[in-house]
């Protein structure tokens, strides 16, 4: 009687110890079991304990996690020295893992692998621990757990899934060469093989083994006859790698698989494919093809990016379709998106060609204020736009700023000539001649600018009725 009373108290204690399951236990679980025990004085303790184990396994197979956990707990309390304890703890760890209780899961797995006699369960428990450590961001601990797992367990237990997860941990720790070794151990028949080979190729590329990276990714595509747009991530990576290494036809073939239909607004891989395909055609001077490809991109997507409208506008510009180029870029601005530096510069240049100098000046000033690679060029074009409006004093300030701050370059030398041009247009012909003559003595100046300076010198001397020098510099210009 004392044994039954003690067992009933244990069952009640378990039910009160786990508040998360209290409602179920109070109506269907420990209270009911305790009552049955008090009424059945002839129950054998060992048999009753095994009953909990069998019920726990049954509920586990049926997906009744709370019921399974309850029965496993009762089994451990009834049989604390059972040889099944390690396996039961392992199953409890799995249940806690499924329920999202990482702390209890890890505790159960740790207890399990320390007492379990079965190599497979020890291995699996450690594998779960490593997985939880990785998902919790404890990458160093996960790496050490995986390495201990592989080192201290029979090789036949090592799974491709664990090698794959181990490689992801190594990638996150920037240990690419070690990750390559882990991925190479995944069997070709494993369902993760294609994905693992994809990662392997990317890792090889990252550690500067580009040729091998390309062979692997191309092999994946060739060995999978059913590869389609659904595999766009692999196809896009392969296309970019083939393009970079000079295999343009292979790149285009893969890109066409992704982008052979109009892109959906949410399909980023399709948009990237069209952008790269359009860029390849642009580099081959096939501007019409680039326009055709990029026009398939939804208008709303064009208005919310910079790369696509820039390439599309540049293609229009190359075709001499300035109005279309301008409208493409202005549509992005009207959508509320800020154009990047190169797109703004192109728009300013189009305004300049259309002789809309005020708008060109404002646009080039915006580029200059960004302070990027085009800051110097935009400072020059701001001055040029002002010069074209006959505002020589304002233009002069821009040209002088360049000459005083920039290193010798095409823009630097053009600014020197423009300073002389401004002086001439201000009626200061002698100052202009002095600057032109100083300019032509500079060694290794661009031939087109030297010719321009010689012509301007001849013209300036003609205004002074100095025909001897006029003839001399015109002859040098014509030589």
Residue ranges per structural domain of the chain? 390-479
Q: Using CA atoms, how far apart are residues 374 and 100, in angstroms rounded to an integer? A: 53
Q: Among 332, 349, 330, 355, which residue's Cα sits nearest to residue 364? A: 349
Residues 198 and 237: beta-carbon distance below 8 Å: yes
Q: So what's the pLDDT on residue 269?
A: 83
Q: Exposed, middle or buried: residue 22 (CB in 10 Å: 0-12, 13-18, 19+)?
A: middle
Residues 203 and 171: beta-carbon distance below 8 Å: yes
Architecture of domain 390-479: Alpha Horseshoe (1.25)
Q: Is pTM, for the whole model, over 0.75?
A: no
Tokens standing for residue 144:
């050490």
Q: So what's the pLDDT on residue 303?
A: 63
Q: Using CA atoms, how far apart are residues 192 and 146, in angstroms rounded to an integer? A: 18
Q: Using CA atoms, how far apart are residues 391 and 400, in angstroms rounded to an integer? A: 15
DSSP 8-state symbol, 338: P
Q: Using CA atoms, how far apart are residues 97 and 64, in angstroms rounded to an integer? A: 14
What are the residues whose beta carbons fall under 8 Å from the beta carbon of 274, sequence distance 6 or more? 255, 259, 263, 293, 294, 296, 297, 308
Q: So what's the pLDDT on residue 265?
A: 66
Q: So what's the pLDDT on residue 302?
A: 66
Tell me the average confidence (pLDDT) per consecutive run of 10 residues in the chain, 479 residues long.
Answer: 43 38 38 37 54 88 91 88 85 90 88 75 83 89 89 84 87 86 77 79 83 86 74 86 90 85 75 89 94 83 77 95 95 85 96 97 96 95 97 96 94 96 95 95 91 95 93 92
Q: So what's the pLDDT on residue 301?
A: 67
Cα 405 to its chain centre, rounded Å, is 38
């Amino acid at each position: 009687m004392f044994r039954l009373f003690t067992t009933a108290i244990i069952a009640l204690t378990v039910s009160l110890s786990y508040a998360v399951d209290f409602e179920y236990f109070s109506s269907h679980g420990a209270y009911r079991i305790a009552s049955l025990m008090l009424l059945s004085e002839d129950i054998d303790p060992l048999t009753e304990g095994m009953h909990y184990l069998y019920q726990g396994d049954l509920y586990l197979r049926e997906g009744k996690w709370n019921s399974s956990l309850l029965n496993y707990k009762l089994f451990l309390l009834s049989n604390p020295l059972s040889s099944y304890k390690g396996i039961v703890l392992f199953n409890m760890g799995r249940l806690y893992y499924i329920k999202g209780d990482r702390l209890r899961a890890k505790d159960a797995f740790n207890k399990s692998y320390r007492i379990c006699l079965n190599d497979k369960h020890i291995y699996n428990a450690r594998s779960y621990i490593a997985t939880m450590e990785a998902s919790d961001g404890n990458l160093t601990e996960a790496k050490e757990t995986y390495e201990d797992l592989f080192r201290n367990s029979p090789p036949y237990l090592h799974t491709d899934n664990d090698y794959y997860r181990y490689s992801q941990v190594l990638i996150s720790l920037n240990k690419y060469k070690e990750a390559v070794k882990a991925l190479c151990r995944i069997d070709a028949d494993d369902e993760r093989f294609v994905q693992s080979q994809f990662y392997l190729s990317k890792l090889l590329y990252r550690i500067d083994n580009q040729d091998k990276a390309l062979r692997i990714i191309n092999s994946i595509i060739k060995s999978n006859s059913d590869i389609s747009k659904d595999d766009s991530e692999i196809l896009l990576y392969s296309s970019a790698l083939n393009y970079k290494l000079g295999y343009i036809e292979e790149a285009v073939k893969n890109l066409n698989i992704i982008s052979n239909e109009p892109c959906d607004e949410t399909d980023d891989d399709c948009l990237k494919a069209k952008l790269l395909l359009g860029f390849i055609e642009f580099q081959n001077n096939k501007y019409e093809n680039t326009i055709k490809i990029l026009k398939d991109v939804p208008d709303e997507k064009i208005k919310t990016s910079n790369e696509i409208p820039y390439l599309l506008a540049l293609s229009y510009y190359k075709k001499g379709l300035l109005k279309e180029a301008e409208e493409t870029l202005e549509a992005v601005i009207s959508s509320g998106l800020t154009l990047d530096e190169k797109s703004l510069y192109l728009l300013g240049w189009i305004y300049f060609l259309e002789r809309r100098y005020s708008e060109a000046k404002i646009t080039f000033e915006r580029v200059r204020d960004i302070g990027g690679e085009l800051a110097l060029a935009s400072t020059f074009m701001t001055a040029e736009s002002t010069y074209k409006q006959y505002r020589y004093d304002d233009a002069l300030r821009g040209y002088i700023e360049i000459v005083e701050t920039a290193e010798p370059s095409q823009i630097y030398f053009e600014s020197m000539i423009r300073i002389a041009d401004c002086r001439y247009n201000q009626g200061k012909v002698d100052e202009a001649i002095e600057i032109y003559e100083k300019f032509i003595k500079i060694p290794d100046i661009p031939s087109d600018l030297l010719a321009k300076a010689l012509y301007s010198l001849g013209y300036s001397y003609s205004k002074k009725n100095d025909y001897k020098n006029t003839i001399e510099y015109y002859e040098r210009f014509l030589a």
